[in-house]
Chains A and B, each alone.
Chain A
């Protein structure tokens, strides 16, 4: 079945980097986009950015520009999100989500990974 499986929990020191993986199965990665969304403890959802698995084009949230890089490896159907210069307020669960396009420019996150807890302390 269609699923996204993420890498395990991470504990990092302030100033370090983290790279979270998201392996797709049950569909062709390059036919969809991948977005990353994070959720701080007890808080709401925050969009971090997206990558086209087809051509590698990216859009990042302005507040993360310069610290985040999203990539894909089509040979392994895996997407990656790297966040650098970690701070305590980066502590959150990080989700990858498949972006499905519905026409007329509409899209939605229809399949989600299970989430990866990143603790910065």
Chain B
């Protein structure tokens, strides 16, 4: 199975901050990488697909980059509604695997 490792596991930030979350795959997955946001008690929400493509309706302050084994999710200016957990997920092979998550908290 492909292991997905996110860093950091949690971070504290203020409204307006630029936030970067990293995801590393245990083997090359090209750009078969998706990012999700999840708020407590809610289902995950697709933000970015195929590493860098913004899902329809997602604010442009979210962006994704990377290929191979190293990927990044960036929030250019953190908004109050962005405090949540974020997960990366590889869609290269089965079993699809997720990172352990990054919790973004209010500083």
> Chain A: residues with CB nearer than 8 A to chain B?
35, 37, 44-47, 50, 59, 61-62, 95, 97, 102, 105-110, 112-115
- Majority SS of interface residues in chain B? loop
CB within 8 Å: A-B pair count: 59
Kindly list chain B residues whose C-beta atoms are within 8 Å of the C-beta of A95.
43-44
Residue of A nearest to B34 (CB): A108
- A106 CB to nearest B CB, Å: 5
Q: Is B100 on the interface with A (CB-CB < 8 A)?
A: yes
- State in angstroms the CA–CA spacing of A113 and B43 once bound together: 7
> How far is A108 from B50 in the complex, measured between Cα atoms in Å?
8
* Contact of A35 with B49 at beta-carbon distance under 8 Å, contacts A45-B44, A95-B44 already known: no
Q: How far is the CA of A106 from the CA of B87 in the complex (A)?
A: 17
Complex CA distance for A104 and B22, rounded to whole angstroms? 24
CA distance A108 to B44 in the complex (A): 12
**Chain B residues with Cβ under 8 A from A61's Cβ?**
95
Q: Which of A37, A62, A105, A112 is within 8 Å of B45, CB to CB?
A: A112
Give the Cβ gap from A113 to chain B, nearest Cβ, in Å.
7
- Asked whether A105 and B101 contact (CB < 8 A) given A35-B96, A59-B94, A61-B95, the answer is no
The proximity string for B residues 87-98 relative to A, scoring 1 for CB distances below 8 Å and 0 otherwise, is: 101010011111
CB distance from B106 to the nearest CB of A (A): 19
**A95-B43, A110-B55, A114-B43 given; A45·B34 CB < 8 A:** no
Interface centre among B38, B43, B91 (most CB of A within 10 A): B43
CB distance from B68 to the nearest CB of A (A): 15
Q: A47 and B49 in contact (CB under 8 A), knowing A95-B44, A112-B43, A115-B43?
A: no
Instruction: Report yes or no: B43 in contact with A47, Cβ–Cβ below 8 A.
Output: no
Q: Which residues of B contact A113 (CB under 8 A)?
A: 43
In the complex, are the beta carbons of A106 and B49 less than 8 A apart? yes
A44 and B98 CA atoms in complex are apart in Å by 8
Q: Report how far A79 CA is from B15 CA in the complex, Å.
A: 40
A-B contact list, 9 entries, CB within 8 Å: A35-B96, A44-B99, A50-B96, A61-B95, A106-B31, A106-B32, A106-B91, A109-B46, A112-B44
